[in-house]
Structure 1
C-alpha cells in the first residue's frame, strides 16, 4: 500500500503488515496495560498490627468498660495496623516480543484507517523556540495532542516541545504504545516510516 507525503504529493510504499493490519482490541489493551504497569514503582508499604510500634498489652479490663478490646495496635484504633497491609511488589506483566510488535502494528494500522497519520519529508526546527514548533504544527493542521516521530529527533526539537504540555516528540527507538494511543494525530517523517517497518515487519 502507498501513503501520501503531505506537502510534496509524493507517495511512500508501506507494508500492509504494519500499516494495514487488522485491529485487535484485546491485544492492544493487554500490551498498553503491561507497558504502564512496567513503569509502576510498586514500593507502597503499610504496617500490619504486628509491625506497628506499640504495646500489645490489653488496653483495659474485659468487663465493665463498654466494648471489649485488646491491644491498641488493632486495626480498629487510630494509629493501629492496617488489616490487609500493602507490601512492596512488582506489577510487571510478561509480554513477549511478537505480541508487542503485533500490538504496535495494530495501533499504527488503526490510526492510518482513521486518517490520523500525517507523513512528511522531514520535521525539525532551526532553533530551540516553542513558537517555531507551534507554527509548523499549525501549518500541518494536526490536533491538540500531536505525536511527532522522527528517525533521530534533534535536541532543538525536544527543547521546542518541552513547554507544550500536549505535544510529544519521539524517535523511533523511543516509540511506545501509550504515546500512540494517547495522541490525536501522529506526524511521522518518511525516514522514520522505513525504520518502523524494519522494526515491526
Structure 2
C-alpha cells in the first residue's frame, strides 16, 4: 500500500490518496521492465528503410565491354555493387521490428515501473473546473505550485480527455499528457515528474490491477 499527499489547485495539502499495485519481485523487476521498454521502442519503429539491389537498380542490361582482350577486369553489368551507381549489398529492406510480450507480463512491467516512480509521483485534486477556458499560463503556474518545474519533463495522467486541459498544455515542450487507460513503460520512465489526479489513480488501479 502506497500513500501519497493530495494537493489542491493552490498547491496546498488537501488530503491523502492510497493505492496498491502488485509489482514484480526485486530480483526480476529490472529484467521485466527492460523487456517491456525494448518492446515499446521496437514497436515504434517504422521499418520502412529500403535500398535497391543490383536487380532493382535502373540500367545495367548491357555488358560494358567484351569478356577478354581489353586488359581490364571482366564485368557483366555497370550496376554491380562494386560500381558507382550500382546496387547495394545486404542493404536494409522493409521489415517488421515488433516484438511480442504476454499481456500479463506487460501489465506487471507497467505496475512495477509505476511503483518505482512513487517518489516522483504528484497527486492533485481534479482541476478541470479551474480551467474554464484554455490557458497555458495557468496550467504552467499550477504545475510549478505542485512541484514540477518548467525545466523538468512532466507526464500528466488524466482520467479522461479534457478539451481545456489539452489545449492548455499541447504547446508545452516538456509536458506530455496521457490518459490513465493508455499508460506505457517508456513514458513512466522518461518523465522527471508524474502528475496525476485522484480519479486517474483510481482508474489506474482499476484497469491495471491483477
What pairs with 1:47-86 in structure 2 (closer than 5 Å)? 47-61=52-66, 62-86=68-92
> 1:82-124 CA deviation, whole Å, 9 max, x = no partner?
1013222111100111111011111111101xx1001112233
Q: TM-score, normalised by structure 2?
A: 0.85
Q: In structure 2, how many angstroms separate the alpha carbons of the residues matched to 1:92 and 1:101?
A: 18
Q: Which residue of 2 aligns with 1:135?
A: 141
Q: TM-score, normalised by structure 1?
A: 0.89
Partner residue of 2:125 out of 121, 125, 130: 121
Q: What is the alpha-carbon root mean square deviation over aligned residues? A: 2.0
Q: Which residue of 2 aligns with 1:24?
A: 29
Deviates more, 1:49-58 or 1:145-154: 49-58
> 1:144-201 CA deviation, whole Å, 9 max, x = no partner?
1111111113011111111111101111122222211111010010111111111121
Q: In structure 2, how many angstroms separate the alpha carbons of the residues matched to 1:107 and 1:53?
A: 51
Q: Which residue of 1 aligns with 2:106?
A: 100
Partner residue of 1:173 out of 153, 159, 181: 181
Q: In structure 2, how many angstroms separate the alpha carbons of the residues matched to 1:187 and 1:152?
A: 14
- Cα 1:10–1:63 change in 2 (3 A) is farther
Q: Following TM superposition, by how much is the alpha carbon of 1:79 offset from its aligned partner in structure 2, in angstroms?
A: 1.5
Number of aligned residue pairs: give it: 198
2:43–2:99 Cα contact (<8 Å) kept: yes
2:181–2:207 Cα contact (<8 Å) kept: no
Partner residue of 2:191 out of 172, 176, 183: 183
Which structure 2 residue ranges, 5 or more long, are not aligned?
Answer: none
Q: Following TM superposition, by how much is the alpha carbon of 1:133 offset from its aligned partner in structure 2, in angstroms?
A: 1.2
